[in-house]
Structure 1
Amino acid sequence: MSKPTPTSRETYRHFLPISTRWMDNDVYGHVNNTVYYSYFDTVVNEYLIRAGALDFERGATIGLVVETHCNYFEPFVFPERVEAGLRVARLGSTSVRYEVGLFREGGTHAAAQGHFVHVYVDRVTRRPVTLPDALHAALAPLVVAAD
């Protein structure tokens, strides 16, 4: 397995600033690895809500995470501002692979990067469904060519 390298800022299509919190630091003096996944969820869901593609309370379609991964290059600490970059690496008929780069404020290369895959399902039956048109339209501008 080859060692991953940090991605650069310009490969992401949407950014969200996220402030670290006092409670994010662990006993080793840096943001705990589990918090990075919270940042992933935050940038994706903030984008979807603002784009009008996610109604998490009443929408008929919801996204379930079926795969996650993160590579860590440099630690974040409190107090620090993280800039979460978002792109879509795969826009399928029922699933989406989101990729997230976490950058220091103004940083050019990711301090951490990863992905997660959502399978979109019917809220009641939990069976996969075709991506709603509004979701597909919201995500299309975030699609990047595979590396």
Structure 2
Amino acid sequence: MDLKVGDKVDLIVGRNSAIGFTVLVNEEFEGMLYKNELYQKIAEGEKLVGFIKKIREDGKLDISLQALGFKHTIVKNEIAILNALRKNNGALALHDKSDPNDIKHQLGMSKKAFKSAIGGLFRQKLIVISEEGIKFVEHIE
């Protein structure tokens, strides 16, 4: 196996099980996408791009749909939030106390990822955070 943790791989989604979806990795290896790490809907037979999260002792692979690495993920999530703000007239009714399912449904990320990303955007002075949600700085009234 010429794969290592962090490698970008091609996936074909297999069976749905209690813990997640089995996936065929690079048309050769068996892997698992865990349900608690999925922030988008996927279907059996779907082709996706993923990343090797862990190579287990039994040779099976734990797979993530998000690139590994803190900086890459934060930037990707910040961009997703900025794009969502642009599509919603500069405001989103989400903040650090929002329900995790609302965040997952609207932005396709975990609450922890959301909080990290809005913290970064706030420190860059791109957004403001209030009880109503987040807004672009220039949309303050």
Give the TM-score of the pair, scaled to structure 2.
0.27
Higher relative contact order at CA 8 Å, sep ≥6: structure 1 or structure 2? Answer: 1
Higher relative helix content? 2
Bigger radius of gyration among the two: 2
